[in-house]
Structure 1
Amino acid sequence: MSLESPLTVLYKEVDGSKITTDLYLPSVISASPQKYPVVIDIHGGAFMLGHSRMVSLPQIDDCLERGWIVLVPNHRLCPGVNLLEGPMQDIRDLLSWVYDGHLDSILKEQGPYRADLENVAAFGTSSGGTLALALGWNVPKPVKAILSLYGAVHFTDPLWTKALPHIAAKLPPNLSESFLNRIYDQRPIPTDSSVSLEGQTESGVSKGPDFSRPRDAFAFTQIASGTVLSAIYPDSRTNIDPEFKEVDPVQNVSSSFPPTYIVHGQADTMVPIELSRELLKRLQDSGVKCGMTEVPNEEHTFAAMMKVGFGDLVVAEAGL
């Protein structure tokens, strides 16, 4: 097992979608079974794109050197399933899978590894940060700590309906609605796409958008037009949950929320930093142990290029 070839494990199957997590193990420190903290690292991609191999390998390696087990899960991709019933439920089911002992069953086959179930934490970038935050409420047992790297939050803010001309400029002209809507025909609902919003590579090959693929074209069209939320969470426009109360981390902070740290670029034009500042305020008002680092001059997705060392502040402040 290596950073390039993790163990891939099925943790959930629903309606034909086989949902897996990649498992990375630190070096063995003892011949007898030892408990290791578990960190769940969730990829970004606006809930519509990406997969588990498109996370930062240096960040995983840093976690392994600290003696942590790392899980990098896939989840079903919107819009064939909505945000609450798809990505959020899948990641919450992964957490239950860990707490229910299924991870330990896998670990026993890999050597003297056991999961320290009192020290399970989560982090993620962009939409992955939102999903990490979702492990802090409406779960039987929350994670111990959360790190959100420019996670999407505060969904009632008007910024979420703002068009992004710099993204629209990347789109080819004359994308037809019928072509974009082919994304709804994908069955079973996919858990991976070959493009990343984070700038990562897979097998050394850059995976930029290919607008001949309906999924790439659909996702970037929604981002450009300010319609991501209505695409991934139709309940918000059908008056089932118009205020996003079920899915918005900002509206689900309470005094029992896990310690949380936020990192956000001050020059972010996709998820403006004001949204994370509102999350920080709600955390502080609720008395949650929390903090935030604002990174000057950084746009969205900068964490893919973060070097080991910058994260020391983040880990220490988050209490991971």
Structure 2
Amino acid sequence: MAPFDDTTGATRFDSFDIYRTSYKQIGDHNIEVGILVPKDLQPVKHPLLIKFHGGGLVTGTALYPDWFSAWHVPLIQRNTAITVLPNYRLTPEHTGNDILEDLADFWKWINGGGLTDFFASQKLAIEVDFEHMLVSGDSAGGYMALMSGISMPRGAIKAIIAQYPMTNYLRCDPDAPFKVDPKPPLSLVDEHIASITPGTVISSATPPARMELSFALAAYGRYNEFFGTGKHLWPITAIEEAEHFPPTLIIHGEQDTAVSIEDSRAFVKKAGEVVPGAEIKFAMTDGDHGFDVEMKEDEHEWLREGLEWVESKWLA
């Protein structure tokens, strides 16, 4: 087993027992949730981490280790937290309203005893401390985390970690660097839409699947055509209706070519203006999208201090 602070994508989940269940069914399609339980767990109450995956709301899947930042592992292990990782429907097959419906249904599952019932069905004597809940997410997962903070009752979420979050719709420069070469053609979106079987439910895709599609939607101005528009759909405008917001650490790289750091700056400014007493720490550093995936907190003072602050809120 790799040390908690020295994992790779291949060893990221070695220190956990992994479980899978579902929180929702649409027709015969189950929307999955992954659960990470630290090995050799002691019989005490365990705080809860809800971790949403990234992928532009177009790709990604809950238990994809390569996008699960290394620093999460020691954070989880030293606090013996139970980690729950939900999938959700993806665009362009589904709209932003569909995705937010999944978010609401996931929280109904959590708050309605779904996790507790699952552990009981597996004969696992695990007691979860729902009074101490941290929510985190990267990119699109950061979107889901922030929208959770906006929609959940005051005090339900103790703290949020949002890594380079999508606070506004996905858009990028067609000439920006892209992980796949050559870049996808303008025709890709229409070809994909034409290939969709009516009634298809897509709630998971393992990268690099659909990465080209995500780029094409963002770079060629097609994203909102399928996701939809409305002030309620994005944190930058949804926050205007919030009366409260959990303590939040936002992490963003100055050179992000996928989600502009200006979107995070705008959200931090807006939240400070419209939510009295909002506590938001904004950690800006060098790096492109996903820059922190292999980071160790003991090598970066800003990360260590940020996580210490989050833990003080989470476990208070």
TM superposition score normalised by structure 2: 0.80
Q: 1:188 aligns with which of 193, 200, 208?
A: 200
What's the secondary structure of 1:166's corresponding residue?
coil
Contact 1:64 1:70 in 2 (8 A): no
Contact 2:236 2:270 in 1 (8 A): yes
The aligned residue for residue 248 of structure 1 is 234
Contact 1:250 1:279 in 2 (8 A): yes
How far apart are the structure 2 equivalents of 1:13 and 1:290?
A: 35
The aligned residue for residue 104 of structure 2 is 92
* Structure 2 stretches lacking a partner, 5+ long: 1-12
Higher mean alpha-carbon deviation, 4-13 vs 169-178, is at 169-178
1:312 is aligned with what amino acid?
A: R
The aligned residue for residue 46 of structure 2 is 36
1:133 is aligned with what amino acid?
A: L
The aligned residue for residue 202 of structure 1 is none
1:116 is displaced (CA, Å) by 1.0
Contact 2:16 2:37 in 1 (8 A): no
Query: What is the aligned residue count?
Result: 286
The aligned residue for residue 128 of structure 2 is 115
How far apart are the structure 2 equivalents of 1:288 and 1:111?
A: 38
1:30 is displaced (CA, Å) by 3.6
1:307 is displaced (CA, Å) by 2.3
| Counterparts of residues 1-320 of structure 1 (less than 5 Å) | 6-28=18-40, 30-31=42-43, 34-54=44-64, 55-56=67-68, 58-62=70-74, 63-86=76-99, 88-108=100-120, 109-140=122-153, 142-155=156-169, 163-167=173-177, 170-173=182-185, 175=187, 178-182=190-194, 184-185=196-197, 187-195=199-207, 208=208, 215-233=210-228, 236=229, 241=230, 245-253=231-239, 254-285=242-273, 286=275, 287-296=277-286, 298-309=287-298, 310=300, 311-318=303-310, 319-320=313-314
What's the secondary structure of 1:131's corresponding residue?
helix
How far apart are the structure 2 equivalents of 1:292 and 1:187?
A: 41
Alpha-carbon RMSD across the aligned residues, in angstroms, is 2.6
Structure 1 residues 99-136: Cα deviation after superposition (integer angstroms, max 9, x where no partner): 11121122333533111111122111101100011111
How far apart are the structure 2 equivalents of 1:61 and 1:167?
A: 30
Higher mean alpha-carbon deviation, 20-29 vs 181-190, is at 181-190
Percentage of identical aligned residues: 22
How far apart are the structure 2 equivalents of 1:15 and 1:260?
A: 36
How far apart are the structure 2 equivalents of 1:182 and 1:5?
A: 40
* Structure 1 stretches lacking a partner, 5+ long: 196-207, 210-214
How far apart are the structure 1 equivalents of 2:124 and 2:14?
A: 15
1:42 is displaced (CA, Å) by 0.9
Q: 1:193 to 1:246 in 2, by over 3 A?
A: same
How far apart are the structure 2 equivalents of 1:216 and 1:263?
A: 22
What's the secondary structure of 1:44's corresponding residue?
coil
